[in-house]
């Protein structure tokens, strides 16, 4: 089974992200993915540095926000990275934290699904060598663009049904966020398969799952991260089975996170909830949980280690 790993700069530092990317190739991971958060690092630069020091491991963004760069600029960065890495790059696109983007940078996106579709269409055009697009959110009219030697695949982060259907129609794959339960993954996979007609034929569409992973030593850090994710509007309902949703006080959780009291918010994350959403504990337990996600429909598991990624790689 192919297995990828996500390296998070705010957990391990920018320089160590590059070193861990090299180590990931050495120990046999199929791919390395770097997210881009406002409090972390710039993903394309870090992946370019990893590309320069590796030769086989695949590279990807998981994810970069369509709201932080014009899609044409994102596409040019993706095409460049794909060329310099010898065709090893996959572009993972997402919305980003819309609440944070609004409060921190004044970026507003009231039509997220439409904006995502427009961004993907522009990227496809750029990869083809020119762009002639006029949309509601984005416009792009560029001529005689240097085409990549091969077009990067585009994976779309999706949670809600509308975005899942958009991913099925316009993406080469979907990225399931961390802290989705296997049951939620199964339902989301069914939406995409129905939209693409996968029940009737073979298809190379990829179902990538970002699987939050931690040892017992880093449970508190994992709980704090889970608290932030579950505080997002509608996320707990989308992520959890009904019998566990009632164990999450979303209103209180959101209030504490908005105040920056993530430690207190973490206390509201029940152990049973965490065990449903993440891969925790010994290697044997983690492997078993990965199997649950694969059985639910994930075709490409990507571990998202919380804590000491360097030590995790050694294991």
The number of helices, as runs of H, and strands, as runs of E, in the chain is 16, 12
Domain at 168, CATH number: 3.20.20.30
∠ CA 50-56-57 to the nearest 5 degrees? 55
Does the residue 84 lie in any domain?
yes
Does the residue 161 lie in any domain?
yes
Secondary structure of residue 267 in the 3-state scheme: coil
Give the strand pairing for 139-142 and 131-134.
Answer: antiparallel
Q: Measured between alpha carbons, how far is 92 from 86 in angstroms, rounded to an integer? A: 18
End-to-end CA separation in angstroms for the chain: 17
Does the residue 43 lie in any domain?
yes
Range of the domain at 29: 4-215+279-314
What pLDDT sits at residue 174?
98
pTM over 0.85: yes
Does the residue 221 lie in any domain?
no
Residues 45-101 have pLDDT tens digits of 999 999 999 999 999 999 999 999 999 999 999 999 999 999 999 999 999 876 777
Does the residue 256 lie in any domain?
no
| Domain count for the chain | 1
C-beta of residue 2 within 8 angstroms of C-beta of residue 30: yes
What pLDDT sits at residue 200?
46
Does the residue 288 lie in any domain?
yes
Q: Measured between alpha carbons, how far is 228 from 288 in angstroms, rounded to an integer? A: 26
Does the residue 248 lie in any domain?
no
Pairwise pLDDT comparison (311 vs 174), residue with the higher score? 174
Name the pLDDT band for 233 (thresholds 50, 70, 90): confident
CA 3 vs CA 31, 81, 286: distances in Å: 7, 21, 13
Q: Measured between alpha carbons, how far is 242 from 135 in angstroms, rounded to an integer? A: 39
Does the residue 252 lie in any domain?
no
């Amino acid at each position: 089974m192919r297995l990828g790993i996500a390296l998070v700069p705010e957990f391990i530092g920018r320089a160590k992200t590059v070193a861990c990317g090299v180590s990931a190739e050495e120990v046999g991971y199929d791919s390395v993915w770097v997210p881009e958060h406002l409090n972390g690092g710039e993903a394309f630069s870090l992946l370019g540095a990893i590309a320069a020091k590796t030769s086989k491991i695949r590279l990807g963004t998981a994810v970069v926000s369509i709201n932080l760069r014009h899609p044409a600029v994102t596409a040019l960065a993706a095409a460049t990275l794909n060329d310099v890495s010898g065709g090893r790059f996959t572009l993972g696109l997402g919305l980003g934290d819309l609440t944070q983007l609004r409060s921190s940078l004044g970026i507003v996106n009231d039509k997220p699904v439409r904006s995502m579709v427009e961004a993907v269409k522009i990227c496809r055009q750029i990869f083809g060598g020119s762009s002639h697009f006029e949309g509601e959110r984005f416009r792009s009219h560029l001529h005689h663009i240097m085409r990549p030697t091969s077009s990067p695949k585009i994976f779309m982060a999706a949670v809600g049904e509308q975005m899942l259907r958009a991913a099925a129609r316009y993406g080469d794959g979907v990225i399931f966020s961390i802290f989705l339960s296997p049951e939620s993954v199964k339902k989301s996979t069914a939406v995409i398969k129905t939209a693409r007609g996968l029940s009737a034929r073979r298809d190379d569409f990829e179902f990538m799952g970002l699987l939050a992973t931690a040892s017992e030593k880093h449970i508190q850090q994992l709980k704090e991260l889970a608290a932030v994710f579950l505080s997002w509007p509608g996320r707990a309902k989308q992520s959890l089975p009904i019998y566990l949703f009632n164990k999450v006080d979303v209103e209180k959780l959101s209030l504490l996170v908005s105040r920056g009291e993530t430690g207190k918010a973490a206390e509201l994350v029940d152990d049973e909830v965490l065990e449903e959403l993440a891969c925790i504990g010994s290697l044997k337990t983690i492997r078993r949980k990965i199997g649950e996600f694969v059985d639910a429909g994930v075709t490409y598991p990507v571990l998202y280690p919380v804590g000491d990624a360097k030590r995790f790689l050694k294991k």
